[in-house]
Each structure stands twice: as structure tokens, then as C-alpha cells.
Structure 1
Amino acid sequence: MARIKICGITRVDDALAAAQAGADAIGLVFHPGSPRAVSIEQARTIVAALPPFVTTVGLFVDAEQATIQAVLAQVPLDLLQFHGDEPDDFCQGFNRPYIKAVRVRPGDDLNALAAKWPGACGILLDSYKPGVPGGTGETFDWSMIPSQRSWRLILAGGLQAQNVRQAIDQTAPWAVDVSGGVEANKGIKDIAKINAFIHEVKRV
């Protein structure tokens, strides 16, 4: 079964709802420009409330090394997610496994792009939208994803309960990542949508 990450969590109740519904991971956004950004104190409170076996993922966009280290010193994150232009050696410098987000444009060679981050434990494919590092709420052309690949695919971009089964059937990802597709408002999750999304993933 594809693993499930619910990203853009800003409240303890939403994190617990995701965990109780069966999410494998939750995402905490540390990019100040995002409407889903959390403070270090918010993140600490959310992580402390989680039950065991839920992976905590911290999302950064071209953050300074010192900024990331300051977060890690105060928030026990399991995994890092980089959404900017961070090279592989930078991403590997924090003693944590990491995933690298790639915003897909028409004509991209995704195997060649994935090869730029050999240290990544997964490559997250998201939709490209100028000036928006992630969370676009838009899908991209899944037929661009190579069926033969040596990297673990995490599929994102416009996923919701209504299309996630088709997405999994077509792309066979290791995991799916959703944010806007399970929200009532940006940063505020909808428990019914979370449950419906996870139910559809488990049906595949």
C-alpha cells in the first residue's frame, strides 16, 4: 500500500485526526512565506502530542543552514523535506534522512532530475507554478513519470479523495502527499476529507 503523508499541519487536533485515520507521516512547514507555516513552539506542541510510529517531517525552502539547525535543536523531526534549490550535499548535512521535492515542468527528464539528489530517500514530484514552492493544489501530467526508475516516488500536487486512486494506479508511488486536498481552509484540515482520502488510498 502507498504510504500517506498529510502535510501543512498547524494544529494538534489535525495531527491527531491524521494519525487516527491512518496517516504514516505529518508535515510541518517551516517556510515563512507559506500560509501553513508553523512556529517552533507550535511544531513542538504538535510533535509532542503525536502517538508512536507517526513520522514527523519538516519542510524547508532554501533556508539557511543555521535556521534548519535551530529548528532541529528544538523540534524532534524524523525527516527533512527540501522544496528549494538545495543541492544534495547540503540536504545530507543535518544527520537526518531527507526527501527532495521537484516541481515538474513539461519536457522534464525526471530520471535525470532525480539523479541530482543521490542521497535522497525519496523524490517528491509536485506541480510547477511560478513563484510557488509547493502546495499549489494543482496536478501535473502523471504520464511524464517514468515507469522504470531507481528512486522512490512520492506523489504530490492536487491530490484529493476523488483522484488519488487513479494517481496510484497510474504511477505506483511509494507514498502520496496531500495538503490542500484535505483542508477546510489553508492550514486548517477537514477531518472528513482526511478520512475519505486515506480510505481511498487503502482501497487501492
Structure 2
Amino acid sequence: MSRTRVKICGTTSAEDALLAQDAGADAIGLIFASISKRRVDVAAARRISLALDPSFGRIGVFLDASLDEVLRTAHEARLSAVQVHGEVGDAFLDVLLNFWPVLRALRPGDEIPTPRTGLSLLFDAAKPGGGVPFDWRSVPFPAGAWLAGGLSPENVCEAMTLLRPFGVDAVSSLERGPGRKDPARVRAFVEQSRRFDGERFLSS
């Protein structure tokens, strides 16, 4: 039985990145969208990436970025995968998939792209990072997809029980303030996710 992946998004410092790694998460999210209060620049993202174990996931989060910007940033920041929000066409995804695994972020009601090798789907709330879950029953949730949008230590097991996602992703519920992680909440989120996996294994 595969383990659910856990991503701690909106990471802005090496200290918080190492916290996520030490807590047992699988990846962090580094946000490059200019509208985000958790945005990091390329130099900061590179420092964070280099502080981590090379096998630990470093996922860059982009909103309506040009292909050249994503390619350049992913290379310079030493990312291991990219997550794209906004208007993204098939040709855009095909080029990215030549270089990195891609998480395609979708909101409820968005069209699901054609499956491709290296492409995963991430279902998020209409306002990413807003801390409010969407109706988990409102989307056709395919096997192998990630879930984000308002997840917290308090509700992640419920979400996992309902949808059985490949991965779970949290931001605002794990913070003391925008971009500043709460260590106890980060650890609790990872622990609750792992507890669900353990109970699922015992009941199978």
C-alpha cells in the first residue's frame, strides 16, 4: 500500500523547510506568484532548496507565468517539480514535462486535462491559500490526484477517508502568520496524515 504524500506549501525560509523535512513531510511548496503573501524570489528559493536533502521534494508554484519564466526559475531554484495554476494549455504542459514532473492545479469546475506521463492533478479551492475547503463531493476526483484547499490537522483525515488522494497539501492552517510556519501544526498535519495511512493499512 502506497503512502500518501504530504506537501507543506508556502514555505519561505530554510528553517521552515527543514522543519517540514524533519516532521516527515515529502515536499515543500515554494510560491513564485506575485500576488501571494508567501512569495519567494529565485535566490531565496535556491537557498532553501540547497538546505534540504536532495531527495526531498521542492515544488515551485506558479500562477499565469510564462513558459520561459517557469523553465528559468525551476532551473535556477533547483526545483524537483512545478505546480501550475491559471491558464495553461496542452503545449505548455508538454514542454514542461520534458524537464520536470508537473502538478496541474484545478479549481472546482475546471476542465481536466488529457492524462500524460509525469502529469498529476491537484484539486484546490477557488481561492488557493485562503484556508477554506471546497465541497469535496463536488468534483470527480480521479485516482492519483492531490488534494489542497483548506486542509488542516483537524480535517485531513476526513478528507483522506472520503477521497483517498495521492497527496495532501496545506498552507494557511499551518502558519503563525503568512509564510511563517507553526512547528506544532506542521507536525500535527504530518502525524494525522500518517495516522490515516496506518489505520488504512491495518483495516485492509
TM-score, length basis structure 2: 0.88
One of 179, 182, 187 as aligned partner of 1:195: 187
CA distance in 2, matches of 1:43, 1:64: 18
The aligned counterpart of 1:128 is: 126
Q: 1:52 to 1:86 in 2, by over 3 A?
A: same
- The question of whether the paired residues in 2 share the 8 Å contact of 1:121 and 1:152 is answered with no
SS of alignment partner, residue 165 of structure 1: helix
Residues 52-201 of structure 1 aligned to structure 2 (within 5 Å): 52-94=54-96, 95-104=99-108, 108=109, 113-114=111-112, 116-119=113-116, 121-129=119-127, 134-146=128-140, 149=142, 151-201=143-193
Amino acid at match of 1:189: K
Amino acid at match of 1:63: A
Amino acid at match of 1:51: D
CA distance in 1, matches of 2:169, 2:183: 16
Q: Number of matched residues?
A: 191
RMSD: 1.5
Amino acid at match of 1:176: V
CA deviation string 1:81-110 (max 9, x = no partner)? 001111122023131110111111xxx3x7
Name which of structure 1's ranges 23-32 and 71-80 shifts more when overlaid on structure 2. 71-80
Amino acid at match of 1:139: P
CA distance in 2, matches of 1:88, 1:136: 28
CA deviation string 1:40-83 (max 9, x = no partner)? 11001000000232111011111112222221331211111001
Amino acid at match of 2:14: V
Amino acid at match of 1:153: A
CA distance in 2, matches of 1:139, 1:101: 15
- The question of whether the paired residues in 1 share the 8 Å contact of 2:60 and 2:74 is answered with no
The aligned counterpart of 2:199 is: none
- The question of whether the paired residues in 2 share the 8 Å contact of 1:155 and 1:173 is answered with yes
Amino acid at match of 2:7: K
SS of alignment partner, residue 107 of structure 2: strand
Amino acid at match of 1:68: V
The aligned counterpart of 1:8 is: 10
Q: 1:146 to 1:70 in 2, by over 3 A?
A: closer
Name which of structure 1's ranges 72-81 and 168-177 shifts more when overlaid on structure 2. 72-81
- Deviation, 1:32, is 1.1
Amino acid at match of 1:128: A
The aligned counterpart of 1:39 is: 41
Aligned structure 1 segments of 4 or more residues deviating by more than 6 angstroms: none
- Deviation, 1:117, is 4.1
CA distance in 1, matches of 2:20, 2:37: 19
- The question of whether the paired residues in 2 share the 8 Å contact of 1:103 and 1:127 is answered with yes
